Structure 1
Amino acid sequence: MAGEALVASASHGIGAAAFAAFSLLLLLGRRAHGQHRLLLAACLLTATWSAVTALHNYTVFGLDMAQVARVLETLRTTAWLVFLLLLLASSGLLPAKRLLAVVALLGTTQLATGELAPVAIVLADVAPQRSADPALIGMIASSLLLAVVGILLVEQLYRGTPPGERWGIKFACLALGTLFVYDFYLYSDALLFRRVQPDIWAARGLVDALCVPLLAITAGRNPGWKLGLALSRKIVLRSAGLVGCAVYLLAMAAGGWYLRSVGGAWGPVMQLICLCGAGLLLAGVLFSGAARARLRVFISKHFYQAHFDYRDEWRRFTQALSEGGPTPGERAIQAVAALVESPAGALWLRRDGAFEPAAIWNVPVQIATEPDGSAFCRLLQERQWIVEASHTPRHAEGPLPAWLHGIPGLWLVVPLMLHGQLFGFVALTGPRTPVALNWEVFDLLRLAGSQAASCLAHGELAERLAVARQFESFNRMTTFVVHDLKNLLSQHSLLLANAQRHKANPEFQEDMLATLAHSVHKMTAMLQRLSRGDHATHSAPHVLAEVLRRAIRGYEAAQPRPVLEIADETLLALVDGHRLERTVAHLLQNAVEATPPDGSIAVTLRRQDECAVIEVRDTGSGMTEAFMRERLFRPFETTKAAGMGIGVYESREYLRELGGRLDADSRPGGGSTFRIMLPLQAALERVPATA
């Protein structure tokens, strides 16, 4: 026993010398920072405690050194905790006074239990007994709790430091973490076996001495101890929950140990029942939304100057609005309700001169409406008032609408403002835990309401745009049908105009019959497609020469009559035959209308590299360069009295779908040339092989 006492004294003596030397270096530095002074105080207390612990078997000036060491250990641990708290409070978000009060309470408890259980009792070389001194158990448990708090603070210090600044603090975290982790190991072993192991106690001084170089490195790297921390409320919440669970489990373990000690034969059974019940109760509390809400409100109220962590709240609010799942209205209710821990609500939006129910969340279906311009709506819009259901606002022109009281547990009505106008409002039920309503809560709810209104308005506009696009598709199809009918009508008008002069000509009669048959065929095919609702494009390999012959067949009676020139009869292209025929027919119709009877119209088909080229040339009036650049391919732009201005636009868009293009070349009085370029079928077949 004498040898173990000598080893313990030497170990703590080395620790005292190390911390005393470090304290001397700090004194020579002559820095006046608050953190520096507190670090110096903690090092001096640690050095003094180590020196007194080395003399714990002696009595100096009538004082029991073991009892003095117990008191100094509490002061030393408390000093390191206060040092960590001061570093954490340097961000301005952590009010140190309240946390210092908690540490002071723990230190006082430690001193009180230390008076009842001096170190001489703890280090007594006795075997574990069935019944231990309650004062001894209390002293060990309080020491263990202080070590746990220290570990949590070190973890917060490191995690809360920005990654770019951890270089200056990591060795201090490692040193202080070692101090508290070793204390945790020492006292958890003591709590388990109801005595402090002499070997663990003897090595404590040397372990503390190993931490001095790490503290010295940090003091050199970061002499001002300026960390610029921003402690996350989420981390504080989880840490507080972890501390609460640890305290709860320690209390339940102590209760189970007590039941086992006094329960006789029923002791082990009662201990197991107690531990199982405690575990179930803890699980129920951890999964309780109300318990988490109370803890969150308690931490925000007592540990932070600002009630909300706006960065985290805004991130969560935006994520709730944008994520999938429920309807946009229900997501908006949930996002606003989460700010004040409300579990349910309903949404009203302005539609057709009244505010109608748009969504509900955990409340009965609502059917009541509120007229736009009512006294209640004016209150929400003009003053942006957040109405509490428990009392009528002093600026209200009358009582609250009766239908609001039909919502069970109604608490708040939050306006949703958009561009200075009331877009809607959200009615929320009472929160899971009491929430103090102040200016900060109201401002956040107003801002969240405006953001929710923007998202809801965006959703409604997107829905209206989708409907408008459906009508646009239908109107576009109708326009194209009318355009085709107009072309057929123009062909028949030309036919009738020429019939007065050539009705006795047998060739004209044959051309007239061919034109009428072609028109009937086109109208029949169009009606069949409309009746089937088949407006999609069906592409297949087509012989381009045949498509051009069918297109020209409808203009055999026209004056001038188009002339077809085919250089290659074998050219194939992957097209919709009817649409390509309609495209060429439209170009022919424009050429016939722009060319005098004594002019000429030529349609040619030739091959150019891997493309087929179809040209429609006329000797008509032509077009100006400005017209071709600004108006030719723009929809609903036309120079014809009865024209619709979509033929050239439709033709170009269809050719682009095929991978081709439509070019125009013209000059006033010199005629026009429209050139269609299409990829050939053979070229299309070779693309996958070379890909």
Structure 2
Amino acid sequence: MLTSITAYSYGIAAIAFFTLTLLLLTSWRARIFGTALTVACVLTMFWAASIAYQAVSGISLPLLTDILEILRNAGWSIFLLMLLGPFQQTNSLPPFKFKLKPYVVGVVAFYCLLLLVSIYTYWKLESPQGKTGFMTGIVGRVVIAVMGMLLVEQLYRNTPAKGRWGIKFACFGIGGMFAYDFYLYSDAMLFRQVNMEIWTARGAVNALIVPLVAVSAARNPQWSLGISVSRRILFHSATLLGTALYLLAMSAAGYYLRFFGGSWGAVMQVTFLFGAVALLVGILFSGAFRSWLKVFISKHFYNYNYDYREEWLGFTRTLSEHGHGLGERTIQAIAALVESPGGVLFISRESGNCEPVAHWNISLPNESESASGSLCQFLENKQWVIDLQEYDSNPEKYGAIFIPQWLRVFPKGWLIVPLILLGKLFGFMVLTQPRSRIKLNWEVIDLLKIAGSQAASYLAQQESTNALMIARQFESFNRMSTFIVHDLKNLVSQLSLLLSNVEKHKNNPEFQKDMLDTLDYSVQKMKLLLHRLSRGSSIEHPAPLFIDKLLRQTLTLKSVFEPKPELEILDPDLMVVANWDRLERVIGHIIQNAVEATPKDGKVTICISKQEALVVVEIKDTGQGMSKEFIRERLFKPFESTKSAGMGIGMFESREYIHELGGQIEVSSCQNTGTIFRVILPFHMHVDDVKNAVSRQE
């Protein structure tokens, strides 16, 4: 009964594939894909027909069945590989063409090996070790099924979304065929025999994939998918497939050691498996092996050595990440392009030499190279990547260039890569020998030159940023020094006015007291300025203060001047938040200007009042005044002054600090009439409010 079902099952499969073959040869004639699909269908048809014939006739031909099954799987595998390959229309080639020949050669060699294994298995089935031969053949079929599913998965994954409409049913059908084979032979491995019911249903299952493949062939008869296989996916797939094959070989070797090892079999098996796993882990984590595999894949499976999108993303990511210095990251980024494990970066300096500034996995040399020397001039003019080994063997190629001895004997020195910025040599990089042999062709050299120019722009930006930072530090120091000098000038002016009034008021006890107070204040102020200058910075913290007390102290120092400033306090005990010394300096400067601009018979008045949430300090004089144009264009402009000995930064500093406190300065003036300065500051708290807050807390 089961035999007749087997005949019907595989007979239907043979008829279905025969029909699909006729359609491919007539209505759906295509290019090489159609031929490959037709061959796969023909081989499947013969395989199914041979099993149906054996079921009907009762003649068993296991070797023929195995050979036809291997050929069937080979046909479908090659068809999938061609869909992954470069046989596309000329005007739709992907940017990274996938070399098909190594894959086809590898698959053909693999299936030839399986044919030999099948013949060997057939011979083993006739020998006392039949079970061993049986297991060897089953493992090979499981590997075929896994490889077929991987190819289908890669085909579907790497097909653009708009192209999956044309191939999804073929992927479902072919993938289902390999998945069913995996289920069949996995079950056989588990139970040490083929399940005949699953085997019988296999023919009908294969017949069901015909409509799926036919739908895809009708939708896309040319099978022009424009697929580009990612190098990263290929790298990981090759690693995974190699690991799987290694583990299968390791398991088989362990099985044979246990089977033939006698009493030592178990010990030998465990020792072998541990050593094999340790070797596998060492290989997978080996940088040299990973480098070799990447170079091997790029060399034998692609027309171009690099996936430029991936390389440029990795290059930019390395330059932009945090951690190491930019110089070391630059070496890593360029070295990764040629699998170099280390290098040294040289940058042109103001000394006229290219000096070593960064290194990676190699010691930093003490030597430097003159920017006017033949090497640097050659790198700048020719912009060539210099191969040190080629220079040693064929120096004529590089003309009259002279590479110094210390660079020629550089530890594991390999390449000198110029870093060109705006047509000039910014520096160069020396890379060490790669982990795996790389052929320097035009593609590698051009990539290194472009990467070197990009890296030079990053390094130049860092150099400019560092120079700007230093310039700003000097600017900050110079600005602080300028303000200190301005304060010293004001003190000198006060002392000069004091001396000018000594002859007139030297016998006045009140003048003598004011003179001593002014001298004491000037000495203390000079000491403070010298202290700030010696520290190199000014740390001034704002705090609440009484504005009337600050003005009283300021006017005490101005009491020796003529006209003597007068203070009017409309609202006492008003508080603002500021630094005492800076605010005193700001308001004192405005008062000083008012006194100097007013004749001795004039009047200078300072008034303190509160307007809503603001404290207003009004400085009014009856001096010569200022024009509106002067106030608008020159009054607050730094380094602009109408005084012969003035520095022009007093009013600039005053306005900047008042703005820093959240206030503002208002100016109104009429020529030959006088000027009014209004310093407006945020009101902090009235003293009565402080007392009320304290009483409420009590």
Shorter-chain TM range is: 0.7 to 0.9
Which of residues 67, 81, 86 is equivalent to 2:77?
A: 81
Cα 1:215–1:586 change in 2 (3 A) is farther
Report whether the alignment pairs 1:356 with 2:355.
yes
In structure 1, the partner of 2:373 is 374
Instruction: Report which stretch shifted further, 545-554 or 218-227.
Output: 218-227
Q: Distance in 1 between matches of 2:20 and 2:137?
A: 30
Q: CA deviation at 1:42?
A: 4.1
Superposed CA offset, 1:490-549 (max 9, x none): 233334445566667676666555544443443344345455666111211101121222
What pairs with 1:319-330 in structure 2 (closer than 5 Å)? Answer: 319-330=317-328
What pairs with 1:525-564 in structure 2 (closer than 5 Å)? Answer: 525-530=528-533, 535-564=538-567
Q: CA deviation at 1:231?
A: 2.0
Report whether the alignment pairs 1:388 with 2:391.
no
Per the alignment, in what secondary structure is the counterpart of residue 132 of structure 1? Answer: helix
Q: CA deviation at 1:114?
A: 4.3
In structure 2, the partner of 1:99 is 103
Contact 2:6–2:55 under 8 Å retained in 1: no
Per the alignment, in what secondary structure is the counterpart of residue 561 of structure 2? Answer: coil
Cα 1:266–1:621 change in 2 (3 A) is same
What is the count of residue pairs matched by the alignment?
Answer: 675
Contact 2:547–2:575 under 8 Å retained in 1: yes
What pairs with 1:169-188 in structure 2 (closer than 5 Å)? Answer: 169-170=167-168, 172-188=170-186
Q: CA deviation at 1:291?
A: 0.8
Q: CA deviation at 1:162?
A: 4.4
Which of residues 37, 56, 62 is equivalent to 1:58?
A: 56
Q: Distance in 2 between matches of 1:157 and 1:70?
A: 27
Uncovered stretches (5+) of structure 2, i.e. residues with no partner: 87-93, 691-698
Superposed CA offset, 1:340-369 (max 9, x none): 111222222222111222222222341112
Contact 2:145–2:181 under 8 Å retained in 1: yes
In structure 2, the partner of 1:288 is 286
Q: Distance in 2 between matches of 1:563 and 1:255?
A: 108
Q: CA deviation at 1:637?
A: 3.3
Per the alignment, in what secondary structure is the counterpart of residue 491 of structure 2? Answer: helix
Per the alignment, in what secondary structure is the counterpart of residue 678 of structure 2? Answer: strand
Report whether the alignment pairs 1:477 with 2:480.
yes
Q: CA deviation at 1:482?
A: 0.3
Cα 1:578–1:37 change in 2 (3 A) is same
Per the alignment, in what secondary structure is the counterpart of residue 357 of structure 1? Answer: strand
Per the alignment, in what secondary structure is the counterpart of residue 681 of structure 1? Answer: coil
Report whether the alignment pairs 1:417 with 2:413.
no
Q: Distance in 2 between matches of 1:617 and 1:214?
A: 98
Cα 1:265–1:65 change in 2 (3 A) is closer
Per the alignment, in what secondary structure is the counterpart of residue 662 of structure 1? Answer: strand
In structure 2, the partner of 1:331 is 329
In structure 2, the partner of 1:258 is 256
Superposed CA offset, 1:596-619 (max 9, x none): 445443333322332323333444
Q: Distance in 2 between matches of 1:174 and 1:16?
A: 20
Instruction: Report which stretch shifted further, 88-97 or 258-267.
Output: 88-97
> Which amino acid is 1:101 matched to?
V
In structure 1, the partner of 2:188 is 190
Contact 2:28–2:218 under 8 Å retained in 1: no
In structure 2, the partner of 1:576 is 579
Q: CA deviation at 1:595?
A: 3.8
Per the alignment, in what secondary structure is the counterpart of residue 614 of structure 1? Answer: strand
Q: Distance in 2 between matches of 1:246 and 1:682?
A: 80
> Which amino acid is 2:479 matched to?
R
Q: Distance in 2 between matches of 1:389 and 1:461?
A: 32
Q: Distance in 2 between matches of 1:11 and 1:621?
A: 118
Q: CA deviation at 1:94?
A: 0.7
Q: Distance in 1 between matches of 2:20 and 2:623?
A: 103
Per the alignment, in what secondary structure is the counterpart of residue 479 of structure 1? Answer: helix
Q: Distance in 2 between matches of 1:47 and 1:428?
A: 58
Superposed CA offset, 1:434-486 (max 9, x none): 11111111111111222222222222232233333332222222111101111
Q: Distance in 2 between matches of 1:20 and 1:564?
A: 115
> Which amino acid is 1:89 matched to?
G
Per the alignment, in what secondary structure is the counterpart of residue 355 of structure 1? Answer: strand
Q: CA deviation at 1:327?
A: 2.8
Q: Distance in 2 between matches of 1:622 and 1:24?
A: 108
Per the alignment, in what secondary structure is the counterpart of residue 416 of structure 2? Answer: strand
Contact 1:376–1:396 under 8 Å retained in 2: no
> Which amino acid is 2:382 matched to?
R
> Which amino acid is 1:157 matched to?
L
Q: CA deviation at 1:105?
A: 2.5
Q: CA RMSD in A?
A: 3.5
Contact 2:614–2:681 under 8 Å retained in 1: yes
Contact 1:606–1:614 under 8 Å retained in 2: yes
Cα 1:398–1:95 change in 2 (3 A) is closer
Which of residues 585, 588, 602 is equivalent to 2:588?
A: 585
Q: CA deviation at 1:133?
A: 5.3
Q: Distance in 2 between matches of 1:50 and 1:631?
A: 101
Relative to the length of structure 2, the TM-score reads: 0.86
Q: CA deviation at 1:422?
A: 1.7
Relative to the length of structure 1, the TM-score reads: 0.87
Per the alignment, in what secondary structure is the counterpart of residue 435 of structure 2? Answer: coil
Superposed CA offset, 1:316-355 (max 9, x none): 2222222233333222222222211112222222221112
In structure 1, the partner of 2:616 is 613
In structure 2, the partner of 1:689 is none
Q: Distance in 2 between matches of 1:76 and 1:243?
A: 21
Cα 1:192–1:667 change in 2 (3 A) is farther
Q: CA deviation at 1:223?
A: 6.5
> Which amino acid is 1:240 matched to?
A
Contact 2:477–2:536 under 8 Å retained in 1: no
What pairs with 1:81-160 in structure 2 (closer than 5 Å)? Answer: 81-90=77-86, 91=94, 93-114=97-118, 131-132=130-131, 134=133, 136-160=134-158
Q: Distance in 2 between matches of 1:300 and 1:159?
A: 20
Per the alignment, in what secondary structure is the counterpart of residue 423 of structure 1? Answer: strand
Contact 2:28–2:221 under 8 Å retained in 1: no
Per the alignment, in what secondary structure is the counterpart of residue 93 of structure 1? Answer: coil
In structure 1, the partner of 2:644 is 641
Which of residues 463, 467, 475 is equivalent to 2:470?
A: 467
Per the alignment, in what secondary structure is the counterpart of residue 433 of structure 1? Answer: coil
Cα 1:107–1:564 change in 2 (3 A) is same
Cα 1:556–1:238 change in 2 (3 A) is same
Q: Distance in 1 between matches of 2:603 and 2:9?
A: 115
Q: Distance in 2 between matches of 1:599 and 1:33?
A: 107
Report whether the alignment pairs 1:340 with 2:343.
no
Cα 1:631–1:34 change in 2 (3 A) is farther
Q: Distance in 2 between matches of 1:632 and 1:415?
A: 54
Q: CA deviation at 1:190?
A: 3.4
Per the alignment, in what secondary structure is the counterpart of residue 281 of structure 1? Answer: helix
- Give the share of equivalent positions with the same residue, in percent: 48
Cα 1:104–1:583 change in 2 (3 A) is same
Per the alignment, in what secondary structure is the counterpart of residue 85 of structure 2? Answer: helix
Per the alignment, in what secondary structure is the counterpart of residue 593 of structure 2? Answer: helix
Q: Distance in 2 between matches of 1:248 and 1:615?
A: 92
Instruction: Report which stretch shifted further, 529-538 or 498-507.
Output: 498-507
In structure 1, the partner of 2:89 is none
Q: CA deviation at 1:270?
A: 1.6
